[in-house]
């Protein structure tokens, strides 16, 4: 990857308009954004400001109404659904607020499943899953079911599932939203550690306590980026 030449993600003039009962809702308006390799970016703002819509577009779960999106230097605006799905599986790691683990699969099987969809050989899958679970401190729970884990442990497994595919970027949508403050802090420490090891992370949050873990924060309000700042805690966390 030519890290110095191009950002992992670049948006130019991205808008999103939803049509319902002849009413236009402008969720995003003229978004310009770049995310560089190895960066930890937080997208912050109040509920309803458009930040989750923006993350859905970044994750190829939705398409902009207008504007351009480049992922690792390649335009993704007009890709077929099958190609978007392939890129999501190989290039993007998702971490959701609700964990989204499959209840009747073990921890190991949950992390392995996206790799199975790739047609990856069993030996390589096992190595990838083991490494990912070790990174998040959950290798000792590999045979447990999600119901046997705490919320914080389930989110760690969800992070491992995202890591297993060795994606270009991790997209985290309110990753602490279903956790108490102690487990929320622990998950943020985990993401900070992954960032220090080189992971590129983009996180949506409405909580300023957690946005401060990122290197850079963009504030979204009424579908626009209204402010950008470097976080004061980023240096302290790695000290």
Residue 68 has what pLDDT? 96
| CATH number for position 88 | 3.40.50.300
- Positive or negative torsion for Cα 125, 131, 137, 142: positive
Say if 3 falls within a structural domain. Answer: no
Question: pTM of the prediction?
Answer: 0.89
Say if 229 falls within a structural domain. Answer: yes
E-strand ranges in 45-121 read: 66-71, 74-75, 92-95
Say if 142 falls within a structural domain. Answer: yes
Per-residue model confidence as pLDDT tens digits over 127-167: 999 999 999 999 999 999 999 999 999 999 999 999 999 99
* Contact between residue 87 and residue 149 where contact means Cβ atoms under 8 Å apart: no
* Contact between residue 154 and residue 101 where contact means Cβ atoms under 8 Å apart: yes
Per-residue model confidence as pLDDT tens digits over 181-238: 999 999 999 999 999 999 999 999 988 889 889 999 999 999 999 988 886 544 444 4
Domain range for residue 22? 9-238
Q: Is 197 helix (H, G, I), strand (E, B) or coil?
A: coil
* Contact between residue 239 and residue 218 where contact means Cβ atoms under 8 Å apart: no
Residue 48 has what pLDDT? 86
Say if 1 falls within a structural domain. Answer: no
Q: How many domains does the chain have?
A: 1
What values do phi and psi take at 93, rounded to 5?
-105, 125
Say if 65 falls within a structural domain. Answer: yes
């Amino acid at each position: 990857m030519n890290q110095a030449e191009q950002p992992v993600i670049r948006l130019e003039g991205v808008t999103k308009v939803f049509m319902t009962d002849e009413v236009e809702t402008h969720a995003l308006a003229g978004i310009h954004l770049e995310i560089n390799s190895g960066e930890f970016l937080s997208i912050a703002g109040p509920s309803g400001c458009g930040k989750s819509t923006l993350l859905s577009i970044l994750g190829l779960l939705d398409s902009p109404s207008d504007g351009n999106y480049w992922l690792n230097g390649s335009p993704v605006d007009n890709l077929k659904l099958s190609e978007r799905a392939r890129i999501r599986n190989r290039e993007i790691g998702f971490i959701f607020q609700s964990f989204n683990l499959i209840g009747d699969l073990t921890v190991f099987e949950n992390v392995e499943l996206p790799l199975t969809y790739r047609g990856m050989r069993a030996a390589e899958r096992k190595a990838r899953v083991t490494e990912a679970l070790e990174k998040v401190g959950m290798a000792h729970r590999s045979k447990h079911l999600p119901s046997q884990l705490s919320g914080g442990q389930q989110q760690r497994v969800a992070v491992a599932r995202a890591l297993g595919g060795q994606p270009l970027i991790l997209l985290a949508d309110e990753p602490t939203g279903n956790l108490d403050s102690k487990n929320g802090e622990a998950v943020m420490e985990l993401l900070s550690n992954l960032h220090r090891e080189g992971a590129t992370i983009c996180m949506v949050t409405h909580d300023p306590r957690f946005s401060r873990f990122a290197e850079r924060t963009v504030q979204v309000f009424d579908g626009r980026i209204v402010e950008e700042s470097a976080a004061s805690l980023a240096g302290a966390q790695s000290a």
